[in-house]
Structure 1
Amino acid sequence: MRKIVCLALCLALLAQPALALPEMGTLYAKSAALYAANGQELYSYNADEPLQPASVTKIMTMLLTMEALDRGEVSLDTMITGSEYACSMGGTQIWLEPGEQLTLDEMLKAIAVGSANDCAVAVAEHLAGTEAAFVERMNTRAAELGCTGTQFINANGLDGMGQKTMTTAHDLALISCELLRHPKILDYTRIWMDSIRGGKFSLANTNKMLKSYQGLTGLKTGYISEAGFCISATAERDGLSLVAIVMAAPTKENRMADATALLNYGFANFTAYTLPDDLLPPVPVTLGRAAFVQPQMEDSGSLIIEKSKAAALEPQIDLPESVRAPIEQGQPLGELTVLSDGQVVLRVPLVAAEAVECKGLGELFSGLWGALFCGAQENQTN
């Protein structure tokens, strides 16, 4: 492995004395977490305590819906039919009638903006056949994302017959970060007021922070009496995207205060820095149809770092002298280690930005023949 040590990154505008992060202060909620959208944990408070998420459950329902959209299994114009069961949900709803059809676009709007329990179940039934089958997908997907304290029982977060959805602030943050990989969802979660059914039914967003917090983008509020007031609050400023999770706050005001404190803490103390394009050198490829493969960071390409450490960053890049084809897109190539004052602040896997196929037998033979022919010509010349 060769090691390339670059000069300290120039972040003079962000430079501050290297001090420990300040304390968050007292939160009202039983549990809270602050993450960067790339999945990097920035702060946690009782984040592994299992609690009820109420309607924040719907972030997983929306995630599975967006993934189905990406796979082409449905489109925003797909008509979703309200079943007798979906229409019986109660709680926050748009009063679907059995047999009523709305587009998936309207259903998503009702779920994200109005927190419609009936629409969440109708979409679940359409995607998986039954809500029970959809719940299996929810739990499987949660496990794939590394959620260890989550058990969904339905698509909307209501209590069931002697059952409760349980999750943790840590797990909700992971699900929220994954949902943010589908930026189309923000077209719905950022809506303040809208309507469906041809303008006959009005929707007002349950997330009142959209009007009070600069840069807020979503994602979902939740409340039932046993769960208290919960939220997955996402916001973006100056290229830094954050996820704040608040669970079991005593009041709406406490929920908003905690989410605001978490996001303020994140924006005050962390920054996103994107590495220059020329920092990662291409790696030579042997026996490949391309001579080089470009490494890139496994995540979005941004590092989330403490502002107090930004002035003294020193990246170290470990890459092989060469790699052999075939190479798959996303295949691990090496590692980027970021140091500050000699201390490791971040390790980021480096992966192949594109696939490189092996040369075919004809290409290999042609290359060998060309090398032999050129060599023979040189000998004749000499």
Structure 2
Amino acid sequence: MSNLRPLPLIQRVFAALALLVLLAGCATTPPDSVLAVPAPAQKYAAIVVDARTGKQLFEVSSRAQRYPASLTKMMTLYLLFEALESGRVSKQTQIPVSDNAASQPSTKMRFRRGESIDVDSAIRAIVIKSANDVAVAVGEYLGGSEDQFAAMMTSKARQLGMTSTIFRNASGLPDDGQMTTARDMAVLGMALRQRFPQQFHYFSESDFMFRGRLVRGHNDMLGRVRGVDGIKTGYIRASGFNIVTSYNADGRNLIVVVMGADSARQRNDHVEALIQRSLSPTMDGAKTRLMFAEQ
């Protein structure tokens, strides 16, 4: 990623968010709403989809190429869930951790040579901890090598209708050739819920016990907004702070993708504003203006 230079940071616009809430609560004939963008314009992308109907409720640059970061692990998990469904593995299957997997940079579970992890714990480690060593171990186990697994991931992406995604590894660690779009990540988020409802509970978990210690997660949207029940966060320097969020409450099911935020807090504020906007009846048919703030 050395060819990408950091861009000037965009600060949050509190007045714009306050105006959004005011308009959502008070307007009878919805005027233009104002939504603060928490990211450099060249990194930012977002989309909100009604997962029940497939209707697009909001989008900005949703087909522009972006780095997925650890959102990549959603596809690693998709293929692991397929292996569970087919009987190739069970939740008790032990996945060996190779020297290559163990050598991956943090975030990771810090396995030693010759250790292994059961599939159930591996799923939690990937979802909750976003463990790079475990993601690579899963890829090597299912694909024979991480490169072969990445090819399987890209092939599955095409089958799901993710037309602009190329995977190069199982973890989402930096690779100039690993690209996706906000739209494709929304497709993957919906596919995980629809295809594997019996496994989707993993994405709602915020911590788990492993070898006698409590492992805490990164997804602060869980518990922050009623109805949010997953899915996955991601960050590398080139991508900014990414997230795919599932909202499921009161008969509404949304998939919200935000990519390229300047911090986890700004990203989460933006997701919450997008959920509020999408659920508000006064926003139906309203135009949205995006406000970028100068540093």
Measured against the shorter chain, the TM-score band is 0.7 to 0.9
Q: Which residue of 2 aligns with 1:52?
A: 67
Q: Does 1:207 align with 2:222?
A: no
What amino acid maps onto 1:171 in structure 2?
A: D
Q: Which residue of 2 aligns with 1:243?
A: 255
Partners of 2:33 and 2:148 in 1: how far apart? 44
CA drift of 1:28 comes to: 1.9
Q: Deviations over 1:54-104 (max 9, x none)?
A: 111111111111122112211111111101111111120001222211110
Within a 5 Å distance, the mapping from 1:226-237 to structure 2 comes to 226-237=238-249
1:230-279: per-residue Cα shift (whole Å, max 9, x none)?
00011111122111101001111110011111222222249xxxxxxxxx
Conservation of the 8 A alpha-carbon contact between 1:237 and 1:267: no
1:21: Cα distance to partner? 8.6
Runs (4+) of structure 1 exceeding 4 A deviation are 17-22
Contact 2:192 2:200 (8 Å CA) reproduced: no
Cα distance in 2 for partners of 1:268, 1:105 equals 38
Letter in 1 for 2:35: G
**Structure 2 match to 1:168:** 181
- How many residue pairs get aligned? The number is 253
Deviation track 1:195-252 (CA, whole Å, cap 9, x = no partner) reads: 112x2x3211100111211111111001111111000011111122111101001111
Secondary structure of 1:194's counterpart equals strand
SS at match of 2:199: helix
Alpha-carbon distance change, 91 to 203 in structure 1, aligned in 2, over 3 angstroms: same
Q: TM-score, normalised by structure 2?
A: 0.80
- Relative to its length, the structure with more strand (as a share) is 1
Q: Is the 8 A contact 2:206 2:222 kept in 1?
A: yes
| Structure 2: distance between partners of 1:147 and 1:173 | 9
Structure 1: runs of 5+ lacking an equivalent: 1-16, 271-305, 309-382
- 1:109-144 alpha-carbon deviations (Å, 9 max, x no partner): 000000000001111111121111111111011111
Q: 2:289 maps to what in 1?
A: none
Higher percent of residues as helix: 2
2:163 partner SS: coil
The structure with more radius of gyration: 1
Distance of 1:62 and 1:24 partners within structure 2: 36
Describe the SS at the equivalent of 1:261: helix
Tell me the residue number matched to 2:115.
100
Is 1:158 aligned with 2:170? no
What amino acid sits opposite 2:239 in the alignment?
Answer: A
* 2:134 maps to which of 85, 109, 119: 119
User: Cα deviation per residue 1:118-173 (whole Å; 9 max; x = unaligned)?
Assistant: 0011111111211111111110111112222211110110014xx34211100100
Shift in alpha-carbon separation, 1:100–1:67, aligned structure 2, 3 A: same
Change (3 A) 1:159 1:187: same
Asked if the contact 1:24/1:265 (under 8 Å) is kept, the reply is no
The equivalent of 2:51 in structure 1 is 37
Q: Cα RMSD over matched residues?
A: 2.1
The secondary structure found in structure 1 opposite 2:256 is: strand
Structure 2: distance between partners of 1:83 and 1:49: 35
SS in 2 for 1:184: coil
Residue 48 (structure 1) shift: 0.8
For 1:47 and 1:143, locate their aligned partners in 2 and report how far apart those are by CA, in whole Å: 17
Question: Could you say what secondary structure the match of 1:171 adopts?
Answer: helix
